[in-house]
């Protein structure tokens, strides 16, 4: 495995194989497996879980890491091609990325969506251009539209909790003070569809996920025996849900327009997951979220501190699944 950029690049069997490897490495640690190997981490955006768990996971396998954060101890890095660089950026990705790749055995890059033009962000042109410059195994640590490590951790969490493969999964938009990227909702949706679940996207008007994202999930559902639908009707959506996956994202009808986005979300502050959301769900319905989560804004204390929340389980699984990805990339596929 040389690239871990999008769950859609793998078969269902490959994904379940990675999850099995994550469990095997948990049950039977291999603390010297990656001795002497180097992980290079490049973060264009803030991180807590990814920053800590990638380093911890590499070290638990015997390897080591370095972290590069443009603008913080490192030069600002230009990503546009053909530009005359007389602005603040002193380095271009066309040099910076191959150089960093040449120092390590595996690389991870986080580069969020620009959030200006939906077509551009959907095309993953920025991330793909960077990926093309890296001639080492590469892990997507969240790009414009994909966060596959999160998806893998979420899938494992549902397996751990014995959520049925065909259970009802509701991806619900929740409130946030400003527009956030589409990577996590797009990836969670695709992951649940690929797992074979009965998936509902619950979102207010103006926040429908883009057609290419919905179509991609529908194709995954078709292959796995799952289903995908969307609605703005919360009561209907939550009926019988086994998972509420809460996520904040920006208005897709006002993409890149902060003012219009703010106007759309102004009246939506009741999209905060509370205990009352679980009144008509399955009895065992769980709350999932990729974190960080704004308390009492996106999800209420009563839910996050109650027994339904599995957000810490998801976050811990980040460590375990990423160790499996690193191991698979550097030790090769099973025989």
Strand partners, 130: none
Q: Does 12 contact its own copies by CB under 8 A?
A: no
Q: Which is nearer to its own copies, 134 or 213 (CB)?
A: 134
Q: Which of 83, 132, 222, 258 binds its own copies (CB under 8 A)?
A: 83
CB 283 to its own copies: min, Å: 25
CA 45, CA 248: separation in Å to the nearest integer? 17
Q: Does 294 contact its own copies by CB under 8 A?
A: yes
Site map 95..124 versus its own copies, x via CB under 8 A: xx-xxx-xxx--------------------
Query: Cα 16 to the chain's mean position, in Å?
Result: 17
What are the tokens at 245? 């996956």
Judge whether 149 and 318 are in contact, CB under 8 Å: yes
Instruction: Report 61-80 residues binding its own copies (CB under 8 A).
Output: 62-64, 66-69, 72-75, 78
CA distances to 55, 150, 185, 299 from 223, in Å:
35, 21, 20, 33
Q: Does 301 contact its own copies by CB under 8 A?
A: yes
Q: Does 258 contact its own copies by CB under 8 A?
A: no
Q: Which is nearer to its own copies, 107 or 158 (CB)?
A: 107
CA 95, CA 264: separation in Å to the nearest integer? 41
Q: In which element (H, E) is residue 129 found?
A: helix 125-131
CA 300, CA 130: separation in Å to the nearest integer? 38
Site map 174..193 versus its own copies, x via CB under 8 A: ---x----------------
Q: Does 335 contact its own copies by CB under 8 A?
A: no
Interaxial angle between packed helices 12-27 and 148-160, expressed in degrees from 0 to 180 and rounded to the nearest 10 = 70
Q: Which is nearer to its own copies, 139 or 228 (CB)?
A: 139
CB 125 to its own copies: min, Å: 18
CB atoms within 10 A of CB 280: 15
Q: Does 40 contact its own copies by CB under 8 A?
A: yes
CB 301 to its own copies: min, Å: 6
Q: Does 334 contact its own copies by CB under 8 A?
A: no
Judge whether 170 and 245 are in contact, CB under 8 Å: yes
What HEC string does 130-198 produce? HHCCCCCCEEECCCCCCCHHHHHHHHHHHHHCCCCCCCEEEEEECCCCCCCCCHHHHHHHHHHHHHCCE
Q: Does 38 contact its own copies by CB under 8 A?
A: yes
Q: Does 274 contact its own copies by CB under 8 A?
A: no
CB atoms within 10 A of CB 234: 18
CB 309 to its own copies: min, Å: 9
Residues that bind its own copies (CB under 8 A): 29, 31, 35-36, 38, 40, 43, 46-49, 51-53, 55-57, 59-60, 62-64, 66-69, 72-75, 78, 81-86, 90-92, 94-96, 98-100, 102-104, 177, 291-297, 301, 304-305, 311-312, 315-316, 319
């Amino acid at each position: 495995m040389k690239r871990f950029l999008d769950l859609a690049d793998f078969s269902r069997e490959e994904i379940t194989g990675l999850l099995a490897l994550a469990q095997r490495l948990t049950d039977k640690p291999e603390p010297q497996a990656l001795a002497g190997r180097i992980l290079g981490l490049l973060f264009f955006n803030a991180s807590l879980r990814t920053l800590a768990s990638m380093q911890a996971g590499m070290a638990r396998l015997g390897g080591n890491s370095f972290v590069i954060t443009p603008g913080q101890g490192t030069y600002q890095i230009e990503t546009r091609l053909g530009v005359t660089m007389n602005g603040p950026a002193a380095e271009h990705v066309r040099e910076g990325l191959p150089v960093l790749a040449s120092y390590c055995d595996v690389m991870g890059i986080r580069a969020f969506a620009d959030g200006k033009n939906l077509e551009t962000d959907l095309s993953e042109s920025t991330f793909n251009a960077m990926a093309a410059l890296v001639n080492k195994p590469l892990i997507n640590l969240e790009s414009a539209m994909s966060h596959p490590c999160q998806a893998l951790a979420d899938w494992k969490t549902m397996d751990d909790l014995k959520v049925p493969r065909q259970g009802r999964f509701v991806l619900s938009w929740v409130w946030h003070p400003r527009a956030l990227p589409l990577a996590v909702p797009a990836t969670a949706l695709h992951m649940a569809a690929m797992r074979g679940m009965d998936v509902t996207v619950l979102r207010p008007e103006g926040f429908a996920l883009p057609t290419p994202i919905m179509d991609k999930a529908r194709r995954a559902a078709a292959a796995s025996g799952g289903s995908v639908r969307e609605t703005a009707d919360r009561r209907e959506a939550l009926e019988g849900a086994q998972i509420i996956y809460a996520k904040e994202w920006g208005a897709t009808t006002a993409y890149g327009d902060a003012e219009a986005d703010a106007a759309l979300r102004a009246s939506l502050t009741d999209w905060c997951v509370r205990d009352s959301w679980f009144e008509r769900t399955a009895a065992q319905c769980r709350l999932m979220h990729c974190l960080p989560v704004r308390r009492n804004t996106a999800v209420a204390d009563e839910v996050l501190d109650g027994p339904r929340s599995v957000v810490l389980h998801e976050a811990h699984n980040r460590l375990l699944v990423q160790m499996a990805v690193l191991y698979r990339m550097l030790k090769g596929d099973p025989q």
